[in-house]
Amino acid sequence: MNQPVSATVVEEKQLVVGTSLWQDAWRRLKKNKLAVFGAIVLIIIVAASIFVPIFSSYSYDQINLDKSSEPPSLEHWFGTDQLGRDILVRSLIGGRISLMVGVIATAVSFVIGVTYGAISGYFGGYIDELMMRIVDVIYSLPYLFLVIVLLAFFTKSIFMLFFVLGAVSWLTMARIVRGQVLSIKNQEFIEAARAVGVETPMIIFRHVVPNTLGPVIVYTTLTIPSAMLSEAFLSFLGLGVQPPLASWGTMVNEGVEAISVYPWQLIFPGLMMAITLFSLNFLGDGLRDALDPQMRKD
Amino acid sequence: MAKSNSAILSVRNLQTHFYGDGAVVKAVDGVSFDLKLGETLGIVGESGSGKSVTNLSILRLIPYPPGKIVGGEVIFDNKDLMKIPENEIRRIRGKRIAMIFQDPMTSLNPFMKIGAQLMEITQLHEGLNNSQARKKAIEMLELVGIADASRRIDDYSHQFSGGMRQRVMIAMALSCKPELLIADEPTTALDVTIQAQILELIKGLKEKIGTSVILITHDLGIVAGMTDHTGVMYAGKIVEYAPTEELFSNPHHPYTKGLLKSVPDPLIEQKKLFQIPGLPPDLSNLPKGCPFSPRCSSATTQCQEFPPIRQINAEHYSACWLEN
Amino acid sequence: MCLPSFLCVIKIMSTDKTLLEVNNLQVHFHLSGGGLIDRLMGSKPRIVKAVDGVSFDIKKGETLGLVGESGCGKSTTGRAILQLIKPTSGEVLFQGTNLAKLPDREMRPFRRHLQMIFQNPYASLNPRMTIGDIISEPLTVFKSLAKQQLDKQVQELIERVGLNPQFIKRYPHEFSGGQRQRIGIARALALNPDFIVADEPIAALDVSIQAQVMNLLQDLQKDFSLTYLFISHDLRAVRHMSNRVAVMYLGKLVELADANEIYQNPLHPYTQALISAVPVPDPKVEKQRQHIVLQGDVPSPLNPPLGCHFHTRCPQVMDQCKTNEPKFVNIGKNHFVACFLTNK
């Protein structure tokens, strides 16, 4: 009975700085070969999209009818399109547009979705019901209809496209965040924060939101490809990027028309897009596993 | 019930390891004990002591990976359960050796009627037809004290309270009149008054059916009231084993002594509680020698070496270097 | 350790002064049927009377134990005292102020006097914060301290609850259950409170760790002259920790008396059954003990029985118990019972 508490309870390891859950997740992510591979491929594609067109001697809108629809050669690695434009450069410019659509649309949906979902979930009651019914109503409208209406109302600039895509994809994000908040706000540590007198905005941003971010990040990485696909689809319908600007969607669209004669016009942009989507999915899966608390070994 | 001295179950040097993250966790590290016919053996230990893994290992219910039974034998009915083929042990599970678990909530299938789950067992193991199995199921529910059993047999598990679910679990476990019942913390999730009901029930049914019981618990009070022999587990090993009365009146291992002293007695007033210092052992990073030595007030340099389990007196074994 | 140190002198243990008084506390929850659509459709909400008219007082420096089975409303009572759940009606008088009447903003200054220790050491600490941040949070809410001073206080607190102060930058998941509970205790102590609600503080811990935490709570009580409401389903722990014990069943108190008195001379049949159901860690005693085994389950609080709530399971039930509700009265020696057997 006379053991001094402090001397006996203290662990012997004197590690001063601990590993946070983020660091822990990062460590697990690094172990996932597929996710690391996806991340590296993504970085290469992003870097290439940014830098290659700058240094290339061709530009995406440089028409050369003499070299119309040439197959891949040393001069034009990916061949040329019907107007004799270099497909490599166009694919990378298209990549810029497609990636930007993915990232910006996702960022828009992230900001709206997280704020909306957190408020709805934390306050609950009538506020929650009202906010979620609004989401339900928007959900029930045909997505495409909504986009077409929005794009018809405003000018058809690319930036509008970013925001329109973001504005329709925040709904799922809001629902995910709300669900997370609902489960977290009843945890004892939230009650503990209230018990020591922490004010509500601080509770939401210091205690609730950081704990919802795991699933949100995973969903985000999966929203990027879906926004890119939506853009491709809208471009396919002629609602997206306007020529001469290219995106993977418009290039695939043009390529399909010539598939039997000039297959490279479809294959290369299609392949770029497929590789990007695969990489994003690998990374998303890896993040999901890394951030899943169930996977953590204490 | 007449006690026979023959052992119904002999566990010898059982070892179960878990692999993960480059580390090996020796959850069960050389456990040996005998269970005599018709007796109740208590296994006490704290979380991580290996008490549940020991009993899952007996029925080879360790998920692989990450777990693996790496050694030892479990002799039941002259056969080593560790060596017989999978289909043979499947016939023993649920029929001759049955288990009930801590959480009656998750042990029942929420999408199946209680009756269907009960009937499944007797149909599988005893080849009863539908009406026989149903009759048997009702009989078992009545036996475990579920009122209006012939009607409630068609209810789903969520229509039962926690205590009632545990009764259903016991009915399922005892349907085939098993020779051995392993009860893993059967009352931990239940309220005090319901715990008393379930313990009475297990005690009564044990007499009625003549099943031997292994009762796993962290509660020394339950062990005191229910068991004939008790094994105390710490860090994957049985550190002390004795007839229950002997263990409580004359504990030898410092861990057992500490545990006994650190539980407040509800019948008398105590001043300050005894506390075992330190933390429960980290199984992936055990100290050299006796795993309890860092928390032991009687530890000496001798404890750097692992103390073998040795006989203290007739039926009393302890893994400690201390003199008697 | 005591912050600021001159307060230590002023705080004197006195056991006669009432620190907290709870009068006819009621907490009702609306279950399904309370939503917007349901209201518009005119369906009536179902009401659970989780706490249904509970009155008691807590003297300065004592520990009042509150026992009962799951769903009896004991945790809700604790939370309602701290205004973490707003009481439906009734008073919570803390040194004369009725906390139940205070709006949130006016309640905040009182929070430094009334703190809570939670049941689940895994859920009660924010997994994304370091333990230094967790323990310093109450301090930053109430006073602006320089970083250095803050760190010093946090380290003192960590040390006081028996942990290594060098752990300040580590995260909760790196600690065992018992250590996390100590962190939760340090957080509750940070503001040097007068009163702490300890809600099942040892339920999730191993036996050997339970003893450590109980001893720590007792030491701290002496050093900080704390008053505890010790909520638990574990009658052994409650006996050990408490000066007085209150027994709760389905939202109501059924018995309240000195710890020794209630364990030696339980008068309510429910208390008798509870005490007899606790296994004694001694095989010789256990073999001779007669257990009172109650029949049936605790009725649903949604639909409690008429009359005395306990009558459906009571071994000594009488006719009047089924229709009339016994009053909770003092039958002498400050022993309160709500039963027709004792209060005729």
Partner-chain contact C279 B219, CB within 8 Å:
yes
Which is more confidently placed, C50 or A147? C50
Q: Which residues of C touch A296 (CB under 8 A)?
A: 173
CA distances from C218 to A5, C15, C223, C225 (A): 13, 16, 9, 10
pLDDT at position C8, please? 38
Partner-chain contact B200 C283, CB within 8 Å:
no
The answer to whether residue A23 sits within a structural domain is no
CA distance A290 to chain C (A): 15
The answer to whether residue A72 sits within a structural domain is no
In contact, C281 and B266? CB cutoff 8 Å: no
Q: What is the Cα–Cα distance from B306 to B299, expressed in whole angstroms?
A: 12
The answer to whether residue A64 sits within a structural domain is no
In contact, B66 and B241? CB cutoff 8 Å: no
Q: What's the pLDDT band for C22 if we cut at 50, 70, 90?
A: very high
Model pLDDT for residues C278-292, shown as the tens digit of each residue: 888 888 888 888 888
Mean pLDDT of all residues in A49-53: 79
Residue of A136, A189, A199 to mutate, testing the C interface (most C Cβ within 10 Å of its Cβ): A189
In contact, A245 and A85? CB cutoff 8 Å: no
Closest CA to B210 of B6, B40, B55, B92: B40
Partner-chain contact C191 A5, CB within 8 Å:
no
Mean pLDDT of all residues in B81-89: 89
Model pLDDT for residues B6-17, shown as the tens digit of each residue: 788 999 999 999
Percent of chain C exceeding pLDDT 90 equals: 53
pLDDT at position C36, please? 58
Domain extent at residue A86: 29-51+79-295
B262: nearest CA partner in chain A: A1
Model pLDDT for residues A33-42, shown as the tens digit of each residue: 888 988 899 8
In contact, B216 and B184? CB cutoff 8 Å: yes
**CA B89 from centroid of its chain's CA atoms:** 19
Six-digit token pair at A35? 């996710």
Strand order across the beta sheet in which C89-94 lies? C47-59, C18-30, C89-94, C97-98
Domain containing A277 — which CATH number? Answer: 1.10.3720.10
Partner-chain contact B278 A8, CB within 8 Å:
yes
Partner-chain contact A3 B21, CB within 8 Å:
no
The answer to whether residue A134 sits within a structural domain is yes
C116 close contact with A: CB closer than 8 A: yes
In contact, A249 and A161? CB cutoff 8 Å: no
> A92-106, A199-213, B265-279, C123-137: which has the highest mean pLDDT?
C123-137
Mean pLDDT of all residues in A85-90: 79
The residue to which tokens 């992936």 are assigned: B284
Query: pTM for the full model?
Result: 0.82
CA distance A1 to chain B (A): 6
In contact, C275 and B268? CB cutoff 8 Å: no
Q: What's the pLDDT band for C272 if we cut at 50, 70, 90?
A: very high
- Is the pLDDT assigned to residue A167 strictly greater than 80? no
Mean pLDDT of all residues in B266-290: 82
The answer to whether residue A109 sits within a structural domain is yes
- Is the pLDDT assigned to residue A66 strictly greater than 70? yes
Q: Are strands C227-232 and C63-67 parallel, antiparallel or unpaired?
A: parallel
SS3 track for chain B: CCCCCCEEEEEEEEEEEEEECCEEEEEEEEEEEEEECCCEEEEECCCCCCHHHHHHHHCCCCCCCCEEEEEEEEEECCEECCCCCHHHHHHHECCCEEEECCCHHHHCCCCCEHHHHHHHHHHHHHCCCHHHHHHHHHHHHHHCCCCCHHHHCCCEHHHCCHHHHHHHHHHHHHCCCCCEEEEECCCCCCCHHHHHHHHHHHHHHHHHHCCEEEEEECCHHHHHHHCCEEEEEECCEEEEEEEHHHHHHCCCCHHHHHHHHHCCCCCCCCCCCCCCCCCCCCCCCCCCCCCCHHHCCCCCHHHHCCCCCEEEECCEEECCCCCC
Mean pLDDT of all residues in B287-307: 88
Angle in degrees, CA B301, B304, B305, rounded to 5? 120
Partner-chain contact A197 C170, CB within 8 Å:
no
Collect all residues with Cβ–Cβ distance below 8 Å to A254 and sequence separation of at least 6: A81, A82, A265
Lowest mean pLDDT: which of A251-255, A293-297, B299-303, C61-65?
Answer: A293-297
CA distance B264 to chain C (A): 6
Query: Looking at chain B, which subunits does it touch, using at least 3 CB pairs closer than 8 Å as the criterion?
Result: A, C
Q: Which residues of B touch C207 (CB under 8 A)?
A: 46, 218-220, 259, 262-263
Q: What's the pLDDT band for A7 if we cut at 50, 70, 90?
A: very low
B277: nearest CA partner in chain A: A8
Q: Which residues of A touch B278 (CB under 8 A)?
A: 8-9
Q: What is the Cα–Cα distance from C336 to C267, expressed in whole angstroms?
A: 9
- Is the pLDDT assigned to residue C35 strictly greater than 70? no
In contact, A39 and A279? CB cutoff 8 Å: yes
Which of B20, B272, B278 lies at the smallest CB-CB distance from A1? B272
- Is the pLDDT assigned to residue B145 strictly greater than 90? no
Collect all residues with Cβ–Cβ distance below 8 Å to B175 and sequence separation of at least 6: B118, B121, B122, B136, B137, B140
Residue C290 identity: Q
C124 close contact with A: CB closer than 8 A: yes
Partner-chain contact A9 B278, CB within 8 Å:
yes
In contact, A180 and A216? CB cutoff 8 Å: yes
Q: What's the pLDDT band for C344 if we cut at 50, 70, 90?
A: low
> B199-203, B283-287, C59-63: which has the highest mean pLDDT?
C59-63
Residues in C 42-81 with any Cβ partner in A closer than 8 A: 79
Partner-chain contact C211 B265, CB within 8 Å:
no
Helix A33-55 vs helix A264-291: crossing angle, to nearest 10 = 140
pLDDT at position A17, please? 65
- Is the pLDDT assigned to residue A292 strictly greater than 70? no
Closest CA to B163 of C293, C119, C254, C322: C293
- Is the pLDDT assigned to residue B207 strictly greater than 60? yes
B272: nearest CA partner in chain A: A1
pLDDT at position B16, please? 92
pLDDT at position A18, please? 65
Q: What's the pLDDT band for A13 if we cut at 50, 70, 90?
A: very low
Q: Which residues of B touch C69 (CB under 8 A)?
A: 191-194
Half-sphere exposure of A271 (CA within 13 A, CB side): 9
Helix (H, G, I), strand (E, B) or coil at A19: coil
- Is the pLDDT assigned to residue A144 strictly greater than 80? no
pLDDT at position C117, please? 94
- Is the pLDDT assigned to residue B230 strictly greater than 90? yes
Which of B196, B259, B265 lies at the smallest CB-CB distance from C280? B265
In contact, B292 and B274? CB cutoff 8 Å: no
The answer to whether residue A98 sits within a structural domain is yes
Residues in C 232-291 with any Cβ partner in B closer than 8 A: 233, 235-237, 239-240, 259-260, 263, 273-287, 289, 291
Residue B47 identity: S
Model pLDDT for residues C311-329, shown as the tens digit of each residue: 999 999 999 999 999 999 9
Lowest mean pLDDT: which of A85-94, A278-287, C214-223?
Answer: A85-94
Residue B150 identity: S
The answer to whether residue A254 sits within a structural domain is yes
pLDDT at position C45, please? 67
Q: What is the Cα–Cα distance from A217 to A31, expressed in whole angstroms?
A: 18
Which is more confidently placed, A157 or C139? C139
Torsion sign (Cα): C108, C112, C116, C120: positive
Model pLDDT for residues C213-238, shown as the tens digit of each residue: 999 999 999 999 999 999 999 898 99
- Is the pLDDT assigned to residue A100 strictly greater than 70? yes
Which of A14, A18, A126 lies at the smallest CB-CB distance from C36? A126
In contact, C242 and C89? CB cutoff 8 Å: no
Question: Is the preceding peptide bond at B65 cis, omega within 30 degrees of 0?
Answer: yes
* Bridge partners (DSSP) listed for residue B313: B316
Mean pLDDT of all residues in A275-290: 85
**CA C32 from centroid of its chain's CA atoms:** 27
pLDDT at position B2, please? 37
pLDDT at position B182, please? 92
Question: Is the preceding peptide bond at B66 cis, omega within 30 degrees of 0?
Answer: yes
Collect all residues with Cβ–Cβ distance below 8 Å to B127 and sequence separation of at least 6: none
Residue B290 identity: C
Model pLDDT for residues B238-257, shown as the tens digit of each residue: 999 999 999 999 999 999 99
Judged by phi (left if over 0) then psi (alpha if -120 to 50, else beta), residue C186 lies in alpha
How many domains, in total, are found in chain A?
Answer: 1
* Bridge partners (DSSP) listed for residue C30: C47
Torsion sign (Cα): A161, A164, A167, A173: negative
pLDDT at position C24, please? 94
Torsion sign (Cα): C15, C117, B194, B48: negative
The answer to whether residue A22 sits within a structural domain is no
A13 close contact with B: CB closer than 8 A: no
Average pLDDT, chain B: 87
Angle in degrees, CA B224, B8, B237, rounded to 5? 55
- Is the pLDDT assigned to residue A87 strictly greater than 60? yes
